[in-house]
Amino acid sequence: MEAAHVITRAYTFVFTPEPEGGFTVTCLALPGLVTYGETLQEAREMARDAMDDLIEVMREMGEAIPESDAPEAIPRFNHLANTLQAEGDPAPIFEQLSTKVGESV
């Protein structure tokens, strides 16, 4: 019988302000994850739900769950975004969100 233990994974999410309002959310470590929230708080909640749902599907399909992003990823992404940002455009927000992932051992 296999024993399961739970580990925590943290991924960097990009909260991109939209001209009409709200935030589109993506995560490079979790391809295909795209969601939206009318407020930053709602966008965070939607991102957590999307992350948990996508990881559940990945586990069911037998796919490997990506390793956590390094904590230093956020300052690097912020620097890159500020370098590429057009004048007057709102800057994207980078945050790490974590989730518990069950893994069989």
Q: CATH number of the domain that 14 lies in? A: 3.30.160.250
pLDDT at 3 over 60: no
**Full domain range(s) for residue 41:** 4-104
pLDDT tier at 105 (50, 70, 90 boundaries)?
A: very low
Beta-carbon neighbour count of residue 15 at 10 Å?
A: 20
The amino acid occupying position 18 is E
Number of domains in the chain: 1
46, 35 contact by CB (below 8 A):
yes
Cα–Cα dist 74/27, whole Å: 12
At 50-93, the pLDDT tens digits run 999 999 999 999 999 999 888 777 777 777 776 666 666 777 88
Beta-carbon neighbour count of residue 74 at 10 Å?
A: 16
Task: For residue 7, list its beta bridge partners.
Answer: 101
SS3 18: coil
User: The pTM is what?
Assistant: 0.78
